[in-house]
């Protein structure tokens, strides 16, 4: 009954650390290694040593096959294999584990020292090109008007600032223009420079282009139709003006956008939002132009999360001098969030992550490996930053560490079993 209780305690210990499967693999591998050690001794005509050296004291003997069975005295198992002695210090209280040189060689245990490195961490995220809302203009009338003539401008056409778009007749504009011409003629006679400013302001309030007002001042005549021009360089996104149609105040006749500067709206995973800040450099690649890159900086991080995709949005301003980037185009962004200064780091393969904490095995030499809990930082290029737990130059196990972990947990369980079995 007591043995069954100890067996249950051992099984609970293995399950409690969450690596029962790994322990089974580790036990099998290490048990096989013990069998090979035993065969090596037999091949040379000598039995495995069953008596302790003079300078070391044996605590107990463990089953050579890794079974939860210990003995205070030397013995053999059912297959005739000698039980393996466990010396004082091999299962120390710090949780370290010691392996024989043969096991280390057979399991491929390798170590690499922690050292300062520059870790390049890059976030990859998709997005779309959108217009810079500050560079979009709408041409509409502020009074009832009639479109007399439209220039050879269609949707998609490139227009320059001041280029004619249409000729418009408006009773309100004609009345204001007649008043202004009358006032400037009177100003010339009376030599009063301030006279007529109110009449000119009335034309400006009706959004009459400056070029049209200047032409009136030179000709001193009121035109039947006023030429409306483009307020900026850009592309015609929308043309609703129809020759001969009546335009009501506020009707959108043309919409023109400047594409020389565009926005890349990037959707970033919620987990990466905390590593982003305005001013960070970014590289954008357009899917329609493979091999070409556009560089910019993060200008705005929007203060909201999409509840369906769990992504945040940021804005990158991009120069577009040759106008190849157009709105709604798909792009991919790469944002470098790594530190340019070297930081203490170790290979990612050295870290064993249980979900609640991270740990590594530090190689103490002479086959001894000590588990250490570590605090990690940025990751990239196969390395991870270590903020606490490992010092500069300390070697950590980078391969076969899960086997060491299995052996460590097995020895801890055997120790508890042995302690409980003693009278």
Q: Residues 231-289: pLDDT tens digits? A: 999 999 999 999 999 999 999 999 999 999 999 999 999 988 988 999 999 999 998 89
The pLDDT confidence band at residue 7, using thresholds 50, 70 and 90, is: very low
Q: Is residue 104 part of a domain?
A: no
Categorize the per-residue pLDDT at 46 as very low, low, confident or very high, splitting at 50, 70 and 90. Answer: very low
Asked whether residue 222 falls in the same domain as residue 290, the answer is: no
**Is pLDDT at 300 greater than 90 in this prediction?**
yes
Of 313, 336, 359, which closes a domain?
Answer: 336
Please, which pLDDT band fits residue 407 given cuts at 50, 70 and 90? low
Residue 231 lies inside a defined structural domain of this protein: yes
Closest CA to 350 of 395, 313, 391: 395
pLDDT value of residue 419: 47
What backbone torsions phi and psi does residue 42 show, to the nearest 5 degrees? -65, -35
Question: Is pLDDT of 178 > 60?
Answer: yes
Residue 59 pLDDT greater than 50, yes or no:
yes
- Going 213 to 217 to 218 to 224, the CA torsion angle's sign is positive
- What three-state secondary structure class fits 59? strand
Residue-level pLDDT at 142: 94
- Classify residue 220: in a domain, yes or no: yes
Least confident among 90-99, 334-343, 395-404: 90-99
Q: Whose CA is closest to 212, among 191, 194, 195, 226?
A: 226
Q: Are 58 and 87 in contact (CB under 8 A)?
A: yes
Alpha-carbon gap, residue 246 to 90, rounded angstroms: 96
In a domain, 254, yes or no: no
Q: Are residues 381 and 296 located together in one domain of the fold? A: no
What's the rounded Cα separation, in Å, for the pair 126 and 122? 13
Does residue 366 sit within a domain? yes
Among 203, 223, 249, residue at a domain's last position: 249
Cβ-Cβ contacts under 8 Å for 294 (sequence gap 6 or more)? 264, 283, 284, 285, 286, 318, 319, 320, 325
pLDDT at 413 over 90: no
CB distance 222 to 216 below 8 Å: yes
Specify whether 293 is located in the same domain as 220: no
220, 249, 278 - which closes a domain: 249
SS3 251: coil
* 119 has a pLDDT exceeding 90: no
What pLDDT score was predicted for residue 402?
67
**C-alpha closest to that of 213 among 231, 233, 227, 195:** 227
Average pLDDT over residues 17-46: 39
**Cα 55 to Cα 12, 30, 52, 87, distances in angstroms:** 36, 26, 8, 10
Instruction: Based on the fold, state whether residues 15 and 45 are members of the same structural domain.
Output: yes
The rounded distance, in Å, linking the Cα atoms of 101 and 129 is 60
Task: Residue 269: give its domain's CATH number.
Answer: 2.40.30.170
* Same domain (yes/no): 167, 208: yes
Mean pLDDT score across all residues of the chain: 79
Whole-angstrom distance, CA of residue 25 vs CA of residue 27: 5
Classify residue 310: in a domain, yes or no: yes
Global confidence as pTM: 0.60
Least confident of 164-178, 200-214, 347-361: 347-361
The answer on 241 and 164 residing in a single domain is yes
Q: Average pLDDT for residues 86-98, to the nearest whole number?
A: 62
For residue 331, the enclosing domain spans 122-132+259-336
Would you say residue 189 lies in a domain?
Answer: yes
Q: How far apart are CA 397 and CA 350, in angstroms?
A: 6
Instruction: Please return the burial class of 37, using the count of CB atoms within 10 Å of its CB with bins 0-12, 13-18 and 19+.
Output: middle
Tally the domains of the chain.
4
- Which range (121-135, 182-196, 202-216, 289-303) has the least confidence? 182-196
Same-domain pairing of 127 and 271: yes
What single-letter DSSP state applies at residue 80?
S
Compute the distance between CA of residue 283 and CA of residue 221 in angstroms, rounded to an integer.
56
pLDDT tens string 338-388: 777 888 999 988 888 877 788 888 888 878 888 888 998 888 888 888 999
**Is residue 345, in this structure, part of any structural domain at all?**
yes
């Amino acid at each position: 009954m007591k043995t069954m209780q100890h067996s249950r305690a051992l099984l609970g210990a293995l399950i409690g650390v969450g690596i029962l499967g790994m322990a089974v693999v580790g036990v099998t591998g290490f048990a096989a290694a013990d069998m090979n050690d035993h065969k090596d001794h037999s091949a040379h005509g000598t039995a495995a040593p069953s008596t302790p050296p003079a300078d070391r004291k044996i605590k107990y003997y463990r089953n050579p096959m890794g079974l939860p069975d210990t003995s205070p005295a030397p013995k053999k198992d059912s297959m005739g294999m000698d039980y393996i002695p466990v010396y004082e210090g091999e299962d120390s209280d710090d949780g370290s584990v010691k392996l024989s040189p043969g096991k280390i060689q057979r399991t491929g245990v390798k170590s690499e020292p922690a050292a300062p490195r520059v870790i390049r961490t890059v976030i990859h995220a998709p997005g779309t090109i959108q217009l810079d809302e500050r560079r979009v203009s709408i041409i509409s009338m502020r009074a009832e008007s009639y479109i007399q003539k439209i220039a050879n401008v269609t949707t998609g056409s490139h227009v320059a600032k001041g280029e004619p778009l249409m000729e418009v007749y408006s009773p309100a504009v004609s009345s204001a223009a007649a008043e202004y011409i009358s006032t400037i003629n009177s100003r010339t006679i009376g030599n009063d420079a301030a006279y007529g400013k109110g009449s000119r302001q009335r034309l400006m309030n009706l959004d009459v282009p400056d070029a049209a007002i200047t032409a009136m001042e030179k000709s001193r005549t009121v035109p039947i139709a006023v030429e409306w021009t483009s307020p900026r360089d850009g592309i015609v996104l929308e043309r609703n003006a129809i020759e001969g149609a009546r335009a009501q105040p506020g009707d959108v006749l043309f919409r023109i956008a400047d594409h020389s500067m565009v926005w890349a709206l990037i959707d970033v995973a919620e987990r990466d939002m905390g590593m982003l800040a305005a001013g960070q450099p970014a590289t954008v690649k357009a899917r329609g132009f493979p091999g070409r890159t556009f560089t910019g900086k993060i200008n705005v991080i929007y203060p909201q999360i999409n509840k369906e995709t769990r992504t945040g949005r940021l804005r990158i301003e991009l120069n577009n001098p040759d106008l190849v980037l157009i709105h709604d185009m798909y792009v991919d962004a790469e944002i470098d969030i790594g530190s340019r200064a070297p930081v203490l780091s170790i290979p990612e393969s050295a870290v064993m992550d249980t979900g609640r904490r991270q740990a590594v095995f530090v190689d103490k030499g002479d086959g001894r490996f000590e588990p250490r809990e570590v605090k990690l930082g940025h990751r990239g290029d196969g390395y991870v930053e270590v903020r606490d737990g490992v010092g500069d130059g300390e070697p950590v196990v980078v391969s076969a560490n899960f086997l060491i972990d299995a052996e460590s947990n097995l020895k801890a369980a055997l120790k508890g079993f042995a302690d409980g079995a003693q009278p």
